[in-house]
Amino acid sequence: MSFSVSIRHRMGGFSLDVAFDAPKGVTALFGRSGTGKTTVVNAVAGLLKPDAGYARIDDVTLFDQAAGIWLPVHKRRLGYVFQDARLFPHMTVEENLAYGAKAQRRDMSKAQKDRVIDLLGIGDLLARRPARLSGGEKQRVAIGRALLADPKLLLLDEPLAALDEARKAEILPFLERLRDDAQIPILYVSHSIAEVARLATTVVVLEGGRVARAGAMADVLSDPDAVSALGVRDAGAVLAAKLVAHHADGLSELTTCGGALLLPGVQAEIGIHMRVRIRAQDVILSRSAPQGLSALNVLKGKIVSMRQGAGPGVMVRIACADEHILARITRRSAVAMGLQNGDEIFAIIKSVSVAQGDVGG
Ligand SMILES: Nc1ncnc2c1ncn2[C@@H]1O[C@H](COP(=O)(O)OP(=O)(O)OP(=O)(O)O)[C@@H](O)[C@H]1O
């Protein structure tokens, strides 16, 4: 199943002109405040009629201005989850879940319902009312309610924005499972790179109402040309890793394309494939394999590009196998080291610089 959208719309002094495809999995619509994310979501949901464009889920057209097609909200078969869960306070979790299916006149089999409840880990909450749920639990129920209406597309509009870090950490593994399990495209609006790195299959970066960059998550996040739209301070590439050992001193060992990575206590089972986001500003470069250094992680790769920003920094893109690491160093260091494209280089990463939230399944 795939979703494709093209929207042109003018509001006051702001003009939106975006087009992208969202295949199966999570497509993150990323952008800073005011870049047009909500306008896109509102048009897809049927809350705003754009000046021009279309949206299609496979061969079903949600709207097509040129063809004069405009499906009303209730006929679009969308699951919509907002920042706040918006559960019905007088209903139990079970009744809230049933409401989604009833409102859409869809009735899933018991096995399908149980699968959704199990996927989101909400089986023990069914008899409770929303007032007795944590923020993370409420969001999981809201996602369950949306899924039980059997949607063709799931819209998650900043679903973690209202949660504190602990609640976010609690819900992220469920969203990872949803990404891997759901057979429908999921459009996930976010302005958090860390969330995008954990969850996205595909990333669409908006800047000033335009698509600045779109593509596979790891490609977009390691693209130095996308860094200005993503935010220089937060820039970082994502490596695929496999958890191979938990050591007695509290460190966990992962294998990556550039070599072994030791990180503080990763909470997962041995053998699991994970994503690790390494922030560009946490990487030190060395021409030779360093000795007598406290940093434990030394990944080997080859410089493929160096991009100079307006300030004193340079973003160095390093290839290892078909993946990339980004390193943000000063231009002064790049010149002093005589760095050139094609050079072999060692990327040094302190174990403790990788946050728990940057390692996920
Ligand atoms: N009704 C309106 N009339 C005029 N301008 C509007 C209207 N609604 C939004 N805008 C402007 O359109 C632009 C895009 O807004 P939009 O809400 O889509 O951004 P966003 O990326 O979702 O932002 P945020 O992350 O803050 O929610 C902004 O500059 C906003 O000020």
Cβ–ligand 1 contact at 103 (below 6 Å): no
pLDDT tens for 314-344 read: 999 999 988 999 999 999 999 999 999 999 9
Q: How far apart are the CA of 15 and the centre of ligand 1, in A?
A: 10
CB 239 within 8 A of CB 276: yes
Pocket test for ligand 1, best of 8, 35, 157 (most atoms within 8 A of CB): 35
User: Is the pLDDT reported for residue 217 higher than 90?
Assistant: yes
Query: How high is the pLDDT of residue 170?
Result: 86
Q: Which residue has its alpha carbon closest to ligand 1 atom 26? A: 33
Higher pLDDT, 281 or 361: 281
pLDDT at 149 over 80: yes
Residues 43, 48, 53, 58: what is their CA dihedral angle, to the nearest 10 degrees?
40
- Assess whether the C-beta atom of 35 lies below 6 angstroms from ligand 1: yes
Q: Into which CATH architecture does domain 236-360 fall?
A: Beta Barrel (2.40)
Residue nearest to atom 12 of ligand 1 (CA): 14
SS3 66: coil
Residue bearing the CA closest to ligand 1, atom 18: 36
Homologous superfamily, domain 3-230: P-loop containing nucleotide triphosphate hydrolases (3.40.50.300)
Closest C-alpha to ligand 1, atom 9: 11
Average pLDDT over residues 178-185: 90
Q: Is 42's pLDDT higher than 70? A: yes
Helices (H), the chain: 37-45, 93-103, 110-119, 135-148, 165-181, 193-199, 217-221, 227-230, 331-337
- Residue with CA at minimum distance from ligand 1 atom 10: 11
> What separation in Å is there between the alpha carbon of 189 and the centre of ligand 1?
14
Its ipTM equals: 0.92
The pLDDT-based confidence of 105 (bands split at 50, 70, 90) is low
Query: What residue segments make up the domains of the chain, in order of their start?
Result: 3-230, 236-360
> Whole-prediction pTM value?
0.90
- Could you give the 3-state DSSP secondary structure of residue 114? helix
- Cα of 36 vs centre of ligand 1, distance in Å, is 6
Strand partners, 276: 239, 359
Distance 37 CA to ligand 1 centre (A): 8
Region 137-153 average pLDDT:
91
